[in-house]
Amino acid sequence: MVTREHPTAETQKLVDWFLSPQGQQLVQDVGYVPLYPAAK
């Protein structure tokens, strides 16, 4: 995510969520490649 200035607290929370296991699962569920592949 690109912002003009330092991210606001809300923006940082969103980024943190996308990087969380839940966020990465959603990324995978909608057809994108997760940043951190799930361990098998």
How remote is the C-alpha of 22 from its chain's centroid?
9
What tokens does 20 get? 């969380």
Structure confidence by residue, pLDDT tens digits, 1-40: 788 889 899 999 999 998 899 998 998 899 988 887 765 5
pLDDT of residue 8: 93
Distance CA 31, CA 28 (A): 5
pLDDT of residue 36: 75
Give the HSE-up count for residue 5: Cα atoms under 13 Å, Cβ half-sphere: 2
> Degrees (nearest 5) of the Cα angle 1, 39, 31?
50
